[in-house]
Amino acid sequence: MSISETSDLLQARERFDLARSGTITLQPRQRHGIGMQSEKTLHAVLKNYIDPDEDHQEIPIDRFIADLYHDGRITEIQTAHMDAMRAKLSCFLALYPVRIVYPIPARKWVIWIDPDTGELLKRNRSPKRGSFYQAFRELYRIRPYLKDPNLSLELLLIDMDEYRLLDGWSRDRKRGSHRYERIPLYLEDRMLLTCPEDYMQLVPPDLPEPFTSAQFAAAAGFRRDGFSTVLLLLYEMGVLDRVGKKGNAWLYQVTEKW
């Protein structure tokens, strides 16, 4: 990581900490504008991390409400499935540059809630570790828009507490349970994707060429299951070329122009 990248991350962490303290300590949190009644804490913190000025938040544009609009640019905070973004993107990208901010749990602690009494039960740390690659399953849902020069992405790795209702169908009532709230704790890292070249950040430097999806996953330190989506999107973005097959597996190499 370069000095400038380190400085940018430190500044982002400062903004994140200010947004977090300013949003979470409001009792009750102030509401402003349209569509705020059901806003969750994670969404509110990220909105204030990007722009705390309430005059720039919840702005009507065409038939939609933009999370943020300022100086001719729209920012959308997407904390769930990207499917919901497609109609907005079709509208917004024809009008303004759009940035999607997408949080990924880096480290997560789960706090269970008794749905009958509201009692907070044991806080457990999840063994799973977050990665930027986890965003690709959601990015696949908006792949027709990824090459649009008006679209950029900001991926955030965030430590967070996740509150879940102990109301699932399994014997311990955890499987099938419902998520109640997520409270962001710390910004670990961020990645900006503003053009196809930026996706090269996701290609491990020590890959043999050609390589398979399994070799890429191993070099990236990510589980093999589901990793084909990452390779597919990198191929569609022009970062990777397909150069043959090894059995049933595609062989890839980094596109020569990079």
Give 133: exposed, middle or buried? Use CB within 10 Å, 0-12, 13-18, 19+: buried
Tell whether the model's pLDDT for residue 133 goes beyond 80: yes
- My answer on whether 130 and 232 are in the same domain is no
Q: Give residues with Cβ within 8 angstroms of 205, minimum separation 6.
A: none
Residue finishing a domain among 147, 174, 194: 194
Which residues make beta-bridge pairs with 159?
A: 186
Give 171-197 pLDDT, tens digit per residue: 877 888 888 889 999 999 999 999 999
Return the CATH number at 242. 1.10.10.10
- My answer on whether 135 and 163 are in the same domain is yes
Give 64-113 pLDDT, tens digit per residue: 999 999 999 999 999 988 998 999 999 999 999 999 999 999 999 999 98
| Structure-block tokens of residue 165 | 């209702």
Give 206-229 pLDDT, tens digit per residue: 888 899 998 999 998 877 666 788
- My answer on whether 183 and 243 are in the same domain is no
- My answer on whether 139 and 211 are in the same domain is no
Structural domain that includes position 207: 202-258
Residue finishing a domain among 194, 225, 245: 194
Give 26-53 pLDDT, tens digit per residue: 544 444 433 334 568 999 999 999 999 9
- My answer on whether 190 and 207 are in the same domain is no
Residue 176 has a pLDDT of 82
* Contact status, residue 106 vs residue 188, Cβ threshold 8 Å: yes
- My answer on whether 219 and 248 are in the same domain is yes
- My answer on whether 31 and 130 are in the same domain is yes
- My answer on whether 160 and 72 are in the same domain is yes
- My answer on whether 152 and 223 are in the same domain is no
- Half-sphere exposure (Cβ direction) of 196: Cα atoms closer than 13 Å: 16
CA dist 184 and 249 (Å) reads 39
Q: Which amino acid is at 87?
A: A
- My answer on whether 155 and 238 are in the same domain is no
Q: Which of 197, 107, 109, 93 is nearest to 145 (CA)?
A: 93
Q: What SS3 string covers 52-96?
A: CCHHHEEEEECCEEEEEEECCEEEEECCCCHHHHHHHHHHHCCCC
Residue finishing a domain among 169, 194, 219: 194
- My answer on whether 223 and 115 are in the same domain is no
The number of folded domains in the chain is: 2
- My answer on whether 32 and 148 are in the same domain is yes
Q: Which three-class secondary structure state does DSSP give residue 193?
A: strand
